[in-house]
Chain A
Amino acid sequence: MSWFKRTLNSSIGGKLIVAVTGLGLVGFIIAHLSGNLLIFVGREALAEYAEGLRKFPAILWALRIGLVGMAVAHIGFTIKLNLANKAARPVGYAKKTYRRATLASRTMVLSGLTLLAYIVYHLLHFTWRTTDAEIAALGPYEVYDMLIIGFSSPAISAFYIIATVLLGMHLSHGISSVFQTLGINNPKYNKLFRCLGPALGTVLALGFITIPVAVMTGFVTR
């Protein structure tokens, strides 16, 4: 297995892990948004979905462990690669001009770390329900009411919206990068690949933002 260790320790192997785990996490985000949007179908649909998720504990736990594993590998390998990147330039430039790097690509670490902090809060808020007594008092499948209570606070909604915008930026660079890193590249598709990140990032971010906005504007009420 020496070749396997060598590959994982290489620059390209490390990038492969970040790309593949990132892609897996994007899959989760798409599934998560699809479920969340049931809020616009109604209270029962959302409750049914929440109950359905827990019907098969073995599958749920396998997915959860896989998800945490992917997140840990994604972050771990990013830290490793980033430390190597910092070490590769011990002395910086007095003046540096960027020509092509996008804002999203230059803020990947910032957006990623903010998302990590957000995910911890999000789990405390809606999964473990430790931040709000009113939410803690709800039944396990009263997701509809949970969202309305949760997003009735403008500060919390604002934090969710900011985190979601950062998620969109993170994905806009990340998704397009996956193709480059995996070497999936052909002049016939390159334009599509470079546009897919910003397009999917924008659609997913807007999708998530609709929920706090719908609650705050009173579009979704009890």
Chain B
Amino acid sequence: MKLKLHVWRQKSPKAQGKMTSYDVKQASPDMSFLEMLDVLNEDLAQKGEDPIAFDHDCREGICGSCSMVINGQPHGPEQGTTACQLHMRKFKDGDDIFIEPWRAKAFPVLKDLIVDRGAFDRIIQAGGFVSVNTGGAQDANCIPIPKHNADLAMDAAACIGCGACVAACKNSSAMLFVSAKVSHLALLPQGQPEKTRRVLNMVNQMDKEGFGNCTNQYECEAACPKEISANFIAKMNREYLGASFFSQEE
């Protein structure tokens, strides 16, 4: 199949970027989206041009590295799928495809389609963990966890931190990501001791990083490759307001 790509090219963080068009003459419907870009990059390299820089790692949909907005949708048009697991059969011969980086002040573009997602790491550092300071792990069966809570915690923990929620949100809000991380630990007994401080610190860091505010449109939920529910955002709001008004944390 033949395709016309419109790709964001930007040499460096400070450089002025622009959309550049490329013709892909031979793409197979069986290729993944990233393989199609690999083929284009081979072409560019042979012509002595700079290949398109994009993030990728596992290429099996679990690492959260691949980050590109394809035709206005993070990870492309397929529901619950990362860009690396998206296949060219989802497109038609002769299609125009727009490929852009995640757009957020908190995710500055490093080069072409690669953005710096360090803001997510700093949010996790602010509280997305449980402290186990000493001693061996106790027997798992000593801590009863209701099946329902374990399932919900696992649903939240499915977040791979790719940032598609931020890219999809018109406000570049990170609330789906943060809520998944807050909820995952708040649902489990191990997360209880640091529960209030965790949500306060993580939301505080999220605001400090310059992410926007949720306006309840749920575009994040629709774009999430792991289909994390926006119900977790309500849970985070509840945890945060509860921690602010009813806990002893300053």
Q: Which A residues are within 8 Å of any B CB, using their own CB?
A: 2-3, 6-7, 10-16, 81, 84-85, 87-102, 105-106, 108, 173, 176-177, 179-185, 187, 190
Contacts and interface: CB of A to CB of B under 8 A. Distances in A.
Overall SS of chain A's interface: helix
A180 B213 contact: no
A168 to B, nearest CB: 17
Contacts of B240: 10, 12, 183
Contacts, number: 144
Contacts of A10: 203-204, 207, 240, 244
B216 A181 contact: yes
B216 A177 contact: yes
Interface stretch (B50-58, B65-73, B129-137): B65-73
B71 A88 contact: no
Nearest to B109: A91
Contact of A88 (B8, B210, B218): B210
With most chain B CB atoms within 10 A of its CB, the pick from A6, A12, A96 is A12
A8 to B, nearest CB: 9
Given A88-B104, A88-B105, A185-B238, A14 B6 contact: no
Contact of A180 (B171, B204, B216): B216
Contacts of B219: 98-101
12 contacts: A3-B244, A6-B204, A11-B175, A87-B212, A88-B104, A95-B71, A95-B100, A100-B218, A105-B215, A106-B217, A182-B241, A190-B231
Main secondary structure of the interface of B (DSSP, over half): mixed
Contact of B213 (A3, A81, A102): A81
User: Most chain-B Cβ atoms within 10 A of its Cβ — which of A2, A100, A184?
Assistant: A100
B121 interface: no
Contacts of A97: 71-73, 77
Interface residues on B, range: 35 or more
B14 to A, nearest CB: 13
A185 B215 contact: no
A50 B213 CA distance: 41
A176 B90 CA distance: 34
B230 interface: yes
A16 to B, nearest CB: 6
B237 interface: yes
B234 A185 contact: yes
A15 B30 CA distance: 46
Interface in B175-218: 175, 203-204, 206-207, 210-218
A142 B208 CA distance: 55
Contact of B241 (A95, A106, A176, A183): A183
